[in-house]
């Protein structure tokens, strides 16, 4: 799961780094790059819940094989498309490839939640969720480090193709070694099954009906997690998608300098995600699940808003990157709380309920990407960051009413 998280974010963020060469080479504007990034988020958001339902129906083992192969094809279409198409047709193909990438990756984190629910006892859920989030942020951190030098050496198409090929090794390894349930794996014995507990062994999800899915839509906890994750992910997408261009356009750094410095925020996020999983797990043991999951986002998100304000007033690019790095790490402290909580309230239907929550998370990207693309394109970066402050505070407020001890289905 750590590997799939890392791979997903390496694939997702490649276009944000490659955009610096894609725009002049293919004669695309920054707003059009924003539309390509939004195509991914639209597919990713719309298929979160269907992806979770698909995984719940067919199992994690073959779900990951199928969606990862589709993602591989979508990524390879990016460098291949300019050889076959031009003009508006080329933009449509690039848009379709990004949309397909989003659709294929939509199931990753909802299905991962189901895997963690089956393979770990509940008190470990925030920790393992934090570890997977650490993996995805390491993937984001590696993207500029790998893609920017490859772009300089051989161009953006060469860089995209070579960073996509390693996915095949992970897909093959998972298809051979992965299993849906612990009891199905030849390496798992009675001692491990006893440690995991019966929650992941004897409680199958109920058959998904329209009434059952509608119940998720109107549940208070599910709705509050949805809204809070919308707001949190505006800040997430602001930092994860736009720092590279921000450093070039606003701080006037070179491609290689920006590629190196753009690594810092995802590394901070990776550290924050791992640390947040540990802290959230400790808080749950110390204060119970209701306040254990609440405390981290109630403190972390307003703090992240303050750090965004600090970053907007930094004229020194290194100080600005430092503030954004700490801010991103603070935002990602909350991932263990969000995903551990949604697994707690989702129960045996964790894949479906977490898919609903992550639909909201990616709606934050759908809302935020065109806003930031427009504001940055008109040199109003500070306004984009100030909006992030409001979203950060709103995401924290929702947690006063989220109750991890009240399941969606009783």
Q: In this predicted model, what pLDDT tens digit does every residue of 325-340 receive, in sequence order?
A: 999 999 999 999 999 9
Kindly compute the dihedral angle of the four CA atoms of residues 243, 244, 249, 252, in this order, to the nearest 10 degrees.
Answer: 110
Three-class SS of residue 369?
helix
* Alpha carbons 171 and 72: distance in angstroms, whole number: 10
| Sign of the Cα pseudo-torsion (326, 328, 329, 331, in order) | positive
> Are residues 222 and 338 in contact, defined by beta-carbon separation less than 8 angstroms?
no
* Domain map (residue ranges) of the chain: 2-401
Closest CA to 292 of 332, 340, 348: 340
* Alpha carbons 30 and 44: distance in angstroms, whole number: 21
Kindly compute the dihedral angle of the four CA atoms of residues 287, 395, 129, 307, in this order, to the nearest 10 degrees.
Answer: -100
Closest CA to 232 of 363, 106, 112, 115: 363
Three-class SS of residue 47?
coil
User: What is the pLDDT confidence band of residue 367, given thresholds at 50, 70 and 90?
Assistant: confident
Q: Residue written as tokens 């947690």?
A: 399
* Alpha carbons 125 and 178: distance in angstroms, whole number: 19
Three-class SS of residue 327?
helix
- Does 235 score more than 50 pLDDT? yes
Taking only the tens place, the pLDDT of each residue in 105-119 is: 999 999 999 999 899
Query: Residue 228: how many CA atoms within 13 Å on its side-chain side?
Result: 27
What is the model's pTM?
Answer: 0.80
Q: Residue written as tokens 């998280």?
A: 5
> Are residues 295 and 276 in contact, defined by beta-carbon separation less than 8 angstroms?
no
* Alpha carbons 235 and 368: distance in angstroms, whole number: 8
The CATH class, in words, for 2-401 is mainly alpha
User: What is the pLDDT confidence band of residue 202, given thresholds at 50, 70 and 90?
Assistant: very low
Write the CB contacts of 51 (distance below 8 Å, at least 6 apart in sequence): 67, 106, 107, 108, 110, 111, 355
Q: Identify the weakest region by mean pLDDT among 23-27, 87-91, 264-268, 331-335.
A: 264-268
Taking only the tens place, the pLDDT of each residue in 44-102 is: 888 999 999 999 889 999 999 999 999 999 999 999 999 999 888 999 999 999 999 99
Query: Residue 340: how many CA atoms within 13 Å on its side-chain side?
Result: 39
Task: Show the DSSP H helices in 87-189 as ranges.
Answer: 87-105, 108-119, 125-154, 156-164, 167-177
- Does 251 score more than 70 pLDDT? no
User: What is the pLDDT confidence band of residue 240, given thresholds at 50, 70 and 90?
Assistant: confident
Helix (H) or strand (E) holding 208: none
What are the two backbone dihedrals, phi and then psi, of residue 188, each rounded to the nearest 5 degrees? -105, 125
> Are residues 191 and 324 in contact, defined by beta-carbon separation less than 8 angstroms?
no
């Amino acid at each position: 799961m750590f590997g799939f998280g890392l791979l997903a974010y390496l694939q997702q963020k490649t276009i944000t780094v490659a955009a610096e060469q894609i725009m002049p080479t293919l004669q695309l504007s920054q707003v059009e790059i924003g539309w390509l990034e939004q195509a991914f988020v639209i597919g990713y958001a719309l298929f979160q819940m269907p992806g979770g339902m698909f995984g719940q129906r067919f199992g994690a083992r073959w779900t990951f094989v199928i969606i990862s192969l589709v993602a591989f094809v979508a990524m390879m279409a990016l460098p291949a498309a300019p050889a076959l198409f031009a003009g508006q047709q080329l933009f449509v193909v690039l848009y379709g490839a990004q949309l397909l990438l989003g659709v294929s990756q939509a199931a990753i984190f909802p299905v991962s939640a189901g895997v963690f629910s089956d393979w770990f006892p509940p008190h470990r859920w925030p920790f393992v969720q934090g570890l997977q989030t650490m993996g995805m942020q390491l993937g984001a951190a590696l993207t500029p480090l790998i893609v920017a030098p490859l772009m300089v050496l051989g161009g953006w198409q060469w860089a995209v193709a070579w960073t996509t090929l390693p996915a095949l090794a992970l897909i093959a390894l998972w298809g051979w070694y992965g299993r849906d349930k612990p009891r199905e794996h030849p390496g798992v014995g009675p001692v491990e099954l006893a440690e995991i507990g019966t929650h992941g062994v004897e409680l199958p999800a109920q058959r998904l009906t329209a009434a059952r899915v509608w119940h998720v839509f109107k549940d208070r906890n599910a709705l509050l997690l949805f809204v809070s994750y919308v707001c949190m992910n505006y800040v997430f997408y602001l930092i994860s998608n736009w720092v590279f261009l921000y450093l070039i356009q606003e701080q006037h750094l070179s491609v290689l300098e920006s590629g190196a410095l753009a690594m810092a925020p995802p590394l901070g996020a990776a550290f924050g995600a791992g640390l947040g999983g540990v802290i959230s797990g400790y808080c749950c043991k110390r204060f119970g699940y209701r306040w254990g999951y609440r405390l981290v986002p109630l403190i972390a998100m307003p703090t992240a808003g303050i750090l965004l304000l600090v970053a907007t007033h930094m004229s020194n690019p290194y100080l600005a990157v430092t503030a954004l790095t700490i801010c991103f790490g603070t935002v990602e402290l909350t991932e263990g709380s969000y995903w551990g909580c949604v697994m707690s309230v989702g129960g045996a239907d964790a894949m479906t309920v977490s898919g609903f929550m992550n639909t909201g998370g990616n709606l934050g990207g759908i809302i935020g990407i065109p806003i930031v693309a427009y504001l940055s394109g008109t040199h109003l970066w500070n306004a984009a960051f100030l909006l992030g402050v409001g979203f950060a505070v709103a995401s924290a407020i929702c947690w006063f009413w989220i109750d991890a001890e009240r399941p969606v289905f009783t």
